[in-house]
Amino acid sequence: MIFYMPTISLANAVSYTALKTSGKDVIKDFPPIRVWGTIGFIAAMWVVSLTHLEKSAGQFYVAAAASLVLGLYAFSLPKCPPPLKGAGNKEAGIRMGRDAFSLFRNRKMALFFVFSMLLGAALQLTNAYGDTFLHDFAKVDAYKDTIAVKYPAIIMSISQISETLFILAIPFMLRRFGIKKVMLFSMIAWVLRFGLFAYGNPAEGLWMIILSCIIYGMAFDFFNISGSLFVETESSESIRASAQGIFMMMTNGIGAVMGSMISGVVIDQFFTTIDGDKDWQGIWLGFAIYALVVAIAFALFFRHKHQPERLSVTTH
């Protein structure tokens, strides 16, 4: 994970730089490009599920092969030189990374990063327990032969299919409602995501699981991608790439670790029977309450005046 997670913020920073170099508007032009990453995610989930590699190390060989192909393909991309040239690049680069942390002196950005961390924890909850939740229904005779139990990754991939639609809606949503309302939509979507899982099942309650997966598209994109675009527009040009790194560190770094560790302890202590069975309804309702508390706190404490004219970064 230490090797992988930095590639996300790096990919975003390189994409934004390439778009701006070409005179493009990152708010308008990045989402239709980013959607292809989600399509790749869907393809990977289907390959792993249909080849029954979900519970084996084979899935990592598939990922490694895809990464090797991507690495070779990267040599064909447009040139994206670093903004610093000449002697002292290393020292200047270190200074720029350090300067990016100055964003925490800005109350609005500091709060944004803190809530990004809290939402990053919510994202980790669904990543960590979604498949396990569906696999556990195999212990129940009434559900063990259902499609959702046999091919959970395919059912969960509905989340990514939904993402493709919500990604394309981001430019309109950001300009129409602003980052605060878009982030609130995301948080409310997390509440619904977890709440529907709490009452869903692979048979007569399958519609709840499917609806939860559809809502995930809003929960993820309106937070993760909109948040990245917000950081891009709110930080100065000299520290934008480092600011993207901080955003990723707070969400998929600190937030992910916090979500994994705390949720694991809470589930073991309060939602696991002596026999090792999980109280999934209680788990998901607990997660829903967590997301609701974060949403209320965000609405009360995060202050941001929506200025549509600022949501355009086209200069390099």
Judge residue 223's burial from the number of C-beta atoms within 10 Å of its C-beta, 0-12 exposed, 13-18 middle, 19 or more buried: buried
130 pLDDT above the threshold of 90: no
Judge residue 177's burial from the number of C-beta atoms within 10 Å of its C-beta, 0-12 exposed, 13-18 middle, 19 or more buried: middle
Name the least confident of 65-74, 78-87, 255-264, 272-281: 78-87
∠ CA 177-173-9, nearest 5°, is 110
Q: Which pLDDT does position 311 carry in this prediction? A: 53
> Who's near 206: CB < 8 A, 6+ residues apart?
146, 148, 200
Q: Which pLDDT does position 316 carry in this prediction? A: 39
> Who's near 247: CB < 8 A, 6+ residues apart?
9, 113, 116, 227, 228, 231
Distance CA 223, CA 123 (A): 10
Give SS3 for 278. Answer: strand
Confidence of residue 128 (pLDDT cuts 50, 70, 90): confident
242 pLDDT above the threshold of 80: no
Convert the pLDDT of each residue in 25-36 to its tens digit. Answer: 887 888 888 888
Q: Which pLDDT does position 294 carry in this prediction? A: 92
Distance CA 226, CA 170 (A): 7
Convert the pLDDT of each residue in 78-120 to its tens digit. Answer: 887 766 554 455 555 555 556 667 777 778 888 888 998 998 8
Q: Mean pLDDT throughout 200-224?
A: 88
> Who's near 271: CB < 8 A, 6+ residues apart?
278, 279, 282, 283, 286
Q: Which domains does the chain have, with CATH numbers?
A: 5-85+103-305 (1.20.1250.20)
Q: CA 280, 282, 284, 287 torsion: positive or negative?
A: negative
The more confident residue out of 208 and 310 is 208
Residue 117: name the closest of 240, 243, 224 by CA: 224
Convert the pLDDT of each residue in 169-178 to its tens digit. Answer: 888 888 888 8
Residue 316: name the closest of 14, 90, 102, 96 by CA: 14
CA 113 to each of CA 34, 86, 102, 127: distance values in angstroms, whole numbers, following the listed order: 22, 33, 12, 21
241 pLDDT above the threshold of 90: no
Confidence of residue 290 (pLDDT cuts 50, 70, 90): very high
% pLDDT > 70, the chain: 90
Distance CA 3, CA 10 (A): 12
